[in-house]
Amino acid sequence: MRRLLALLLVLAAALAVPSSSAATGPVALHREGRFLADAQGRVVVLHGVNAVWKRAPYVPPATAAGFTAKDADWIASQGFNVVRMGVIFAGVMPRRGVVDQHYLDRIVAEAKLLTDRKVWVLLDFHQDLYSEKFSGEGFPAWAVDDDGLPTPVNAGFPGNYFQPSTSRAFDNFYANTDGLADLYAKAWRAVAERFRNSSYVLGYDLMNEPWPGTQFATCAQPAGCPVFDQDVLQPVYEKALAGIRSVDRTHLVWIEPQVLFNDGSQTNLNLKGDRIGLSFHQYCTSAGLTHSSGGKATPECGPQGDLVFGNASSVATKNGWATLMTEFGASDDLGDIGRVTTSADKALTGWVYWHYKEWSDPTTESQDSGGQGLFTNDADLRTAKAAKLDLLEVAYVRAYAGTPTATALHGKVLTASWAADPRTGLTEVWVPKRSYPKGYVATVTGGSVVSRPGAQVLLVRAARPGAVTLTVQPR
């Protein structure tokens, strides 16, 4: 009897204490209003870079000029906490209906270099100009159905969007001709199956810059194109969302508006779900067309950018989406980069710069204005462009223990304010050593600094619920 009683006591104890090997979900972000939040409930702000290899084999080589652990170390060391990583449909499904698991192995390996360093990865089905047939990238050759329409003159990027053939290929995809949209959803399901249990995956960006096909003219207005958005594009997104959600109900799914949103056209998408994000881009139309400065020398860029940020905020609030600006820059135009990052701070949204390296990008038009990458030599991380990095590797609040109300960077002086919720933990601020070589002074009202003096990660504890303000300036 004593032995039986002892056995029962041991069994009861084992049942009462959770096993250390009990299954836990992946580390992921969720939505709090239009903000991203971590498991503690802190609002997370993301600063990072795009990394999209557009040509076969559709993943960067593991070389110095491509992407290795040294690149992941470099990205993390600059304080960047997100990478929008290219996943190309032509690589996922090179043959109709057949998923290439070897390609996904390589994508998983690339992502793991970043997630192991707690850098969030946003998986991006990237396309420009639909496919390589139209001098772009994205869709495999078998998925090109242009009804034999012509491409009279190869106008490159973005000119080939206006070709009858390119627009018809988009039309047929959206119409699910020959099951194309169904197979696109199948490809997304295969990607989600590989990442559903992965930590530090920000989610799935369903399609880069969707072109409205032959309906593009209806979208070229401030109100946008409700018929295209709701009757043509949204059903494709719903198919892809359903495919992902059939295997992964944890990670966020990000949708992009039709591409003219970048220029101030509103989106009328209204996709529903509790883990949906709006992935949007901000490029100045006139600067892009003329390869001129998008900064102070092009005054119309500011109002256009404000319109884009305003549209993103209003539609995200209306639909209950998180927001993230996932592209901007694409040149060495420092005025433009500073303009957009300042606007993002004002809008309280994170950003992802285009692009990490040049990678012989075939479709980024503004290469002509000085280069899109962060390095003068992709194979040498010591060749980082210092002036550009000064605008991107900056002090910022990475996690607010509460709700942010304002943030701004004036030179090297960071100011931020938030409505504190001490129950969620500590506010975390990245303070790069390159910007503060002699250290910094942090001034807090409504709380106190609890990290060691000069720490690269500054930690603030709120005294109580309520307003907290922070100023960080060079010593």
pLDDT at position 2 over 70: no
pLDDT at position 13 over 90: no
Write out pLDDT tens, residues 233-288.
999 999 999 999 999 999 999 999 999 999 999 999 999 999 999 999 999 876 65
Write out pLDDT tens, residues 307-324.
999 999 999 999 999 999
Distance CA 304, CA 282 (A): 9
Mean pLDDT calculated for residue range 60-83: 98
Contact present, 400 and 418 (Cβ < 8 Å) = yes
Looking at residue 300, what DSSP letter applies?
T
pLDDT at position 56 over 90: yes
pLDDT at position 6 over 80: no
**Cis bond upstream, residue 222 (ω within 30):** no
How much of the chain, in percent, has pLDDT values that exceed 90? Answer: 88
Residues 6+ away with beta carbon under 8 Å from 463: 422, 446, 447, 448
3-state secondary structure of 13: helix
Mean pLDDT calculated for residue range 30-39: 96
Distance CA 101, CA 126 (A): 18
pLDDT band at 108 (very low <50, low <70, confident <90, very high): very high
pLDDT at position 8 over 90: no
Contact present, 96 and 447 (Cβ < 8 Å) = no
Residues 6+ away with beta carbon under 8 Å from 5: none
At 287 the pLDDT is 62
What are the b/e assignments for 267-305, b being 16+ CB within 10 Å?
A: bbbebebebbbbbbbbbbbebbeeebbbbeebeebbebb
At 364 the pLDDT is 83
pLDDT at position 292 over 60: no
Q: How many CA atoms lie within 13 A of 195 on its CB side?
A: 34
Contact present, 225 and 212 (Cβ < 8 Å) = yes
Write out pLDDT tens, residues 333-344.
999 999 999 999
Distance CA 314, CA 347 (A): 11
Mean pLDDT calculated for residue range 386-406: 98
Q: What is the pTM of this model?
A: 0.93
Q: Chain-wide mean pLDDT for the chain?
A: 92
Domains defined along the chain, listed by start: 25-393 (3.20.20.80), 395-475 (2.60.40.1180)
Secondary structure element (H or E) that encloses residue 218, with its range: helix 216-219
Question: Which residues, in sequence order, are bridge partners of residue 414?
Answer: 409, 472
Contact present, 82 and 254 (Cβ < 8 Å) = no
Phi and psi (nearest 5°) for 399?
-150, 120
Write out pLDDT tens, residues 135-188.
999 999 999 999 999 998 999 999 999 999 999 999 999 999 999 999 999 999
How much of the chain, in percent, has pLDDT values that exceed 70? Answer: 91
1 or 275: which leads in pLDDT: 275
pLDDT at position 370 over 90: no
**Sheet arrangement for strand 457-462:** 30-32, 35-37, 43-44, 396-400, 427-430, 457-462, 447-449
Other Cβ atoms less than 10 A from the Cβ of 186: the count is 18
Helices (H) then strands (E): counts for the chain = 14, 19
pLDDT at position 81 over 70: yes
pLDDT at position 398 over 60: yes
Write out pLDDT tens, residues 409-431.
999 999 999 999 999 999 999 99
pLDDT at position 399 over 60: yes
Burial (0-12, 13-18, 19+ Cβ within 10 Å), 417:
buried
pLDDT at position 14 over 80: no
